[in-house]
Structure 1
């Protein structure tokens, strides 16, 4: 016989949880990275591939389409030969930058802490 399920004491702030809604925007492999690299200035597809070398072209293309559909970035066709597109964050996309920056800062602290734990003690 399992333990009884306890009722949560956390009050939901709205019918749709804001945290869940925000995380839905950041869902998908590499989505936060794409947003991060677009935070400085608009970038073309090849520039983003250079910025994020481990991402495949297929995944980057999928993330760009998803983020555009969610209203986080815009795609502007450039009048060049061959045709090219430039991606830029929308105002909604820019609102995510402080959250991603905070995650980056925590990640750096964790990385530094793990590095100091792994260092052998000086003799």
Structure 2
């Protein structure tokens, strides 16, 4: 079974995203702290990561950088999930090397497309 890590300081958003992932047979784990995500990633290798960009203390950009610096994690697609729909944010996300950018609210159709694009599901 494919696994996903969802990182968002908003519990409702993270839990909802996990439920959507489970609809596609993906075992999803949520963490509401990006610092805790670093600990989880030091022990686990999910097939895909979803991360909010604007979180207190550690941003989604920090998470992307952490993943890209670790040879064990660098091939994992990181999907940025944010309510920030500014063009400059989209540009920064692309430059950071994220796999995809999703503007909230997230729908099951968007999740399905991302999982197919990342070859997590067919």
TM range (shorter): under 0.3
Higher strand residue share: 2
TM-score by length of 1: 0.24
TM-score by length of 2: 0.24
Higher helix residue share: 1
Question: Quick check: which has more Rg, 1 or 2?
Answer: 1
